Chain A
Amino acid sequence: MFSLILRRLGSVLLVMLVVAGLSFLIFNYLGDPVNNILGVNATIEEREELRRTLGLDQPSHIQFWHFLQRAVAGDFGISYRNRIPVIELILSRLPATVELVFCATIVALSIGIPMGVYCALRPKGLISRILQMISLVGISIPQFLIGMLLILIFSVELRWLSAFGRGEVVQLGWWSTGLLTHSGRMALIMPVITLAVFQISMIMRLVQGEMQEVMRADFIKFARARGLTDRSVHLRHALRNSLLPVVTVVGMQIGSLIAFAIVCEAVFQWPGLGLLILQAIEFADFPVMAAYLALVGFGFAMINLTVDMTYLFIDPRMRRK
């Protein structure tokens, strides 16, 4: 088992290497940040000089090698755009995104699961049909459209909510939170809805499908035969057994939302990781992009590793292999 974990950790490193390596290949096609740093008035001479200083005149595999050498020592360089160390920058933007994604996920679970259960139990009812239609709309509307519609209604027309930003935040050590202030909580509402709409629809459909499947299983029939109440059969037996795939999918969704909530963050000027990576791409801020993609690769690889370990833990047969 120990060797298996080691092998898995090895593959995590490999994933990070490949992702970072690929990002250096992409940099060749993005343009370079020299004009953004020096301004339009820089001469050809000055541009060449800066390219040399930053090492951008080297072929990408050499640049990648330099990046690796520094990264091993924990130095990911300085952001060309924000002009602070990349790790510091990424850590300062992480709390905004994590709060947004977790709030959205909680909202999505607490709305999506009841909706799914209801639709599974009364698939032919009028309300179920309406819910299914709504969920179809929720899955198909692009995020920026939802965001803009919310802004038009609640900011421009009603003037209830702020169209941008996180409101007042409180610093708890290196973590910044908007949950402790009124304006911070109000600022969360629209971005959370925007992110949650798709998740609600997805969770509802997953729960509905799984539960309908489970409801046909023998143990449900036995449960009914034992004379258990409907409530107990539905919630304690059927729902519990349908939740496993939901948890897996939602877990993966949280990962990808933290990494790439780009559209939602751009619409609401949410100062998180998605906005950071979007602006880094527009600026050709290579150190941020390289470190960010490598860290995202690391994050996903760790999630997968955890899942594999869990299987190992649950199923003794896998340990013997």
Chain B
Amino acid sequence: MIRSLLKPLILAASIAAFGATADAKTLRFAESQDIASMDPHAGRDDFALSLLCNVYEGLVRWNADLKLEPALAESWEIISDTEWKFNLRKNVKFHNGNTFNADDVIFSYHRAGDPGSPFAGLLEPIAEITKVDDYTVIFKVKRKYALLLNDFAGWYIMDKEFQESIGAGKPLDLSSNAGGAMQTQANGTGPFKLVERQPDVKTVLAVNPDWWDERKHNLDEIVYTPIANNATRVAALLSGEVDFIRNAPPQDLARIEGTSGMKVMRGPHLRTIFYGMNQQGDTLKGSGVEGNPLKKVEVRKAIAMSIDVEGIKRSIMRGNSNPVATQLAPQMPYYDAALDVRFPYDPDGAKALLTQAGYPDGFTLPITCPAGSFINDEQICQATAGMLAKIGIKAQLNMVTPVQYDTGLPAGEFDFYMLGWAGLPTIDPYNIFSATVHSPTEKLGAWNPKGYSNARVDELIIKIGEETDQAKRQEMISEVVKTQRDEVGKIMLHQQFLTWGMTDKVNAIVPGDEYTRFWYYTMN
């Protein structure tokens, strides 16, 4: 009797379960590498954060149009030049059920911001944090600072109780292995929670049904697989084993678009590509001429005029680039279209400029180029060498691996190098200027060694970091951009395009900072 009563129930339950799996939307996603760990404070590593943003949240976040919006903070007010009050969102649960409150914010501040944490640089402007009540905190900053909200979008909140219970109260210390538990565990407040992780093999996220925000996506599960080899990753997409690959290799775009049921979504990247160079040294090693020709603005201008960036766009980037005259991509806040006017491509004029500068026979220019850091970096450098030859400059190409490049460039080992900068995670010109335009110091200009240096520009950059008035910032930012452009501090190339390959089933957004915000994705 009981059995006969139970039978229809079991049947109904199994049908329901079957129905659920048939409808379950799993997004299978492949990327060239794995993230280092599930710890969002383990490094200021945009690649890791671009995925972890689905698991953890900050006080504020970037929306689909890269505008700041409230996340774990509901609202905020500026009390004085150095005090910000944040009202925290109530009824937010971490994935393990713990309640989010001010103690977690304070804990996360110390975890990420205390000296010795690899994340400390981002929170450096903060002097102290005080708890007003369970859902109100006040941040005191060391000086007037304009970009607190931008920085907070990249600083994720972790659960105090959970982190302490697994012995990961501090980010991993590589010299002692404290905090190593974050390799396979995560507890955030975000739209997806971690359910399985095998480092370098796969990471599975499931939808967080208790997320505080309205659910716009329809994904139930995300399976993230690192596939290092470009060709294999594309093959995995074409064979239907994955639904989505970020940054499809340029040579495979036609193949993906030519396959039925596949598409490539494109979007402008915030990253602009340029050449930086030694403008401080009195000599240029290996140039074969006296002095340092790169010190002369005419020479830098001649190099800029000799580069046919439209030709590079046509034949190397296959249309997937946008030539720019300044470091600010058009999608960057405070972009000034009036200044985005390139020097004309004019080899004859360039040669005349070189003669005028005292180098009628040119010189030898050592160019250091990363092999694999930027889209088509090697080919662009080779093309540049050919173009420079037309005005009498003999380029000596030196290709280095990305890790050699990332080590040698900040150390000032290169005299003429390709570099790209996107201004992440701040998404503000201040980040670009402070890293690549300011004269190199202990804290600023890390990616401008021996490079462009102008006292007035340095002074403006500091003020841009402090000023909160939009109109005043715009004026100063435009002045920096114009000064650097007129003095040819960098030789600008183009803005890269993002090219994401996916099946027709996936509706993604392609934001300029390359973050995969899966809570905007849907699958048919």
Contact = CB atoms under 8 A, between A and B. Distances in A.
Interface stretch (B39-47, B59-67, B355-363, B505-513): B39-47
B442 interface: yes
A200 interface: no
B228 A275 contact: yes
A81 interface: yes
Interface in A247-276: 266-269, 271, 275-276
A193 to B, nearest CB: 15
B362 to A, nearest CB: 31
Nearest to B236: A163
Contact of A38 (B118, B227, B235, B435): B118
B460 interface: no
A164 B241 contact: yes
Contacts of B226: 269
B227 A164 contact: yes
Interface string A138-172: 00000000001001100110010011111000000
A284 interface: yes
Nearest to A287: B174
A283 to B, nearest CB: 7
B36 interface: yes
A31 B228 contact: no
A44 B241 contact: no
B174 A269 contact: no
A276 B200 CA distance: 9
Given A31-B408, A83-B36, A269-B227, A41 B435 contact: yes
A279 B200 contact: yes
A82 B199 contact: yes
B225 interface: yes
Given A163-B236, A163-B241, A30 B403 contact: yes
B121 A83 contact: no
Interface string A39-80: 111111111001001110000000000000000000000101
A248 to B, nearest CB: 33
Interface string B223-253: 0011111011101101111000000000000
Contacts of B401: 30-31, 282
Contact of B43 (A38, A45, A53, A165): A38
Contact of A42 (B42, B404, B446): B446
Given A31-B405, A36-B403, A268-B232, A41 B431 contact: yes
A237 B275 CA distance: 71
A239 B441 CA distance: 73
Contacts of B446: 42-44, 47
Contacts of B43: 37-39
Contact of B440 (A37, A40, A44, A284): A44
A162 B241 contact: yes
Interface residues of A, number: 53
A40 B174 contact: no
Contacts of A84: 177, 180, 183, 199
Contacts of B399: none
B302 interface: no
A43 B236 CA distance: 39
A126 to B, nearest CB: 37
A38 to B, nearest CB: 5
A145 to B, nearest CB: 11
Interface in B170-185: 172, 174-175, 177, 180, 182-183
Contact of A266 (B46, B229, B406, B424): B229
B344 interface: no
Contacts of A45: 442-443
A276 B37 CA distance: 16
Contact of B228 (A35, A43, A50, A279): A279
The winner among A39, A41, A279, A283 for most chain B CB atoms within 10 A is: A41
Nearest to B436: A40
A164 B401 CA distance: 25
Contacts of B175: 53-55
B227 to A, nearest CB: 5
B462 interface: no
A163 B42 CA distance: 32
A152 B406 CA distance: 35
Given A45-B442, A54-B175, A164 B44 contact: no
A306 to B, nearest CB: 32
A33 B403 contact: yes
B442 A41 contact: no
Contacts of A151: 231-232, 235, 239
Contact of B407 (A34, A42, A85, A269): A34
Interface string A110-122: 0000000000000
A80 B174 contact: yes
Given A82-B183, A155-B239, A163 B406 contact: no
A226 B489 CA distance: 92
The winner among B177, B182, B403 for most chain A CB atoms within 10 A is: B403
Given A36-B406, A44-B446, A81-B36, A271 B200 contact: yes
Given A32-B407, A78-B177, A163 B235 contact: yes
A80 B404 CA distance: 16
Given A83-B36, A148-B231, 5 more contacts: A29-B404, A164-B241, A269-B226, A279-B200, A282-B402
23 contacts: A30-B401, A31-B401, A31-B406, A31-B407, A32-B403, A35-B403, A38-B121, A41-B435, A44-B410, A45-B442, A47-B446, A80-B174, A82-B36, A82-B183, A82-B200, A84-B183, A151-B231, A159-B239, A163-B241, A266-B228, A267-B232, A279-B200, A282-B403
Interface of A: 29-47, 50, 53-55, 78, 80-85, 148, 151-152, 155-156, 159, 162-166, 266-269, 271, 275-276, 278-279, 282-284
Interface of B: 30, 33, 36-37, 42-46, 118, 120-122, 172, 174-175, 177, 180, 182-183, 198-202, 225-229, 231-233, 235-236, 238-241, 400-408, 410, 424-425, 431, 435, 440-444, 446-447
Question: 5 closest A-B pairs (Cβ-Cβ)?
Answer: A39-B44, A31-B407, A35-B406, A31-B404, A31-B403
